[in-house]
Amino acid sequence: MAQIELAVPLEFTPLHALHLRLGARMVPFAGYDMPVQYPAGIIKEHQHTRTAAGLFDVSHMGLIELRPRSGRFEDAARALETLMPADIVGLAPGRQRYALITNEAGGIVDDLIVSNQGDHLLLIVNASRKEADESHLVTRLAASCEIATLRDRAIVALQGPQAEEALAAFAPSVRALRFMDTRPVELIGERSIVARSGYTGEDGFEIVIPARAAEAFCTGLLEHAAVAPAGLGARDSLRLEAGFCLYGADLDGSTTPVEAALDWSIAKVRRAGGARAGGFPGADTILRQLREGAPRFRVGLKPEGRAPVRAGALLYGGATGGKSIGTVTSGGFGPTIGAPVAMGYVAAAHAREGDTVFADVRGKRLPVEIAGLHFVPAHFKR
């Protein structure tokens, strides 16, 4: 008798009912029913975020607390450093940092945000990796840290040049935050955590708030004239224009930080000659690539014409013949610049900015210029 495979039911974020009331088109994403767009459409949501303020539900992402069993913050920081090449010991209270968990081959297990909350560390991890990350942390750090996944919180991102004005109406103290600052803030009577950061290249905030208060808080934000809801579609086009990676597309366990052009996230103290050099998985490979270079690199790609070049397209060094020299990993239309944009990996010999390679699009090789990764300038408040 044939077995019947039952679909795993999708999870809902604390803002699911609000998305439906706002007329969102919902799609499955990382095990959740998520809004891909609202009636305004992806391009308008994208443009509104660049000019005013877009409100994104990112509650599908994971929140993991690390508390040192010894009671000494530095013990938790040193423990986490055994999994990543970031400087966590030197992370000041009220600050957060982009970091990479690596594997023994030097590949990226996940990219995440780590913040110093005073007596413990808070990790915000990718939705598709949160169970794997929690298991990874428990397996390796449980002897020195208490590890807890926070499941009763919502996470929202308020992004754009008018984000500060909108959020300051609820908590004036957020005006004092600078890029990558984080602090506890009371929002509509609930203890929350606000960080000045985001995934769009614009100024803005990422807010962790108790799930029970999320809908009321977001409803209040949306009453501000500058704020409009934005879905996964706009989030993707915004991060692509900003040159930010998406795990599972641009990053995976076979990609090293040096190949991914994320070598800036490898702290000086963890590099050769540093005070705490090495000591993380894949250190030999990663430090060797820092010294000698990598076989391939992530680059920005500017296709000629108006046709987007999508993920999976093979890249070639010439218009005809020859072997593939790389692959597009993310691609689409950039509403801000009014042209297609993409990123991908090419062999080191072809990674020079300004050079031309060719993308295979439906059997035709279209010219693509090697470009910088940032198609729009960042507007962080430093």
pLDDT in tens, 53-106: 999 999 999 999 999 999 999 999 999 999 999 999 999 999 999 999 999 999
Q: H-type helices in 197-337, by residue range?
A: 211-222, 232-242, 283-292
**pLDDT of residue 231 exceeding 60:** yes
Confidence grade of residue 2 (pLDDT, cut at 50, 70, 90): very low
pLDDT in tens, 336-370: 999 999 999 999 999 999 999 999 999 999 999 99
CA distance 222 to 226: 8
pLDDT of residue 1: 39
pLDDT in tens, 298-314: 999 999 999 899 999 99
Unique residue bearing structure tokens 């990543």: 84
Structure tokens of 343? Answer: 């990123």
Number of other residues whose CB lies within 10 A of the CB of residue 36:
17
Q: Does domain 16-58+152-242 have CATH number 3.30.1360.120?
A: yes
CA distance 31 to 235: 18
115 has which bridge partners? 96, 122
**pLDDT of residue 7 exceeding 90:** no
CA distance 164 to 171: 10
Sequence spans of domains, the chain: 16-58+152-242, 295-382
Structure tokens of 358? Answer: 């060719």
Structure tokens of 62? Answer: 């994971």
Q: Is the pTM of this model over 0.85?
A: yes
Percentage of the chain lying above the pLDDT 90 cut: 96
Task: Write out the CATH class of domain 295-382.
Answer: mainly beta
CA distance 188 to 376: 34
Confidence grade of residue 238 (pLDDT, cut at 50, 70, 90): very high
pLDDT in tens, 188-213: 999 999 999 999 999 999 999 999 99
pLDDT in tens, 257-276: 999 999 999 999 999 999 99
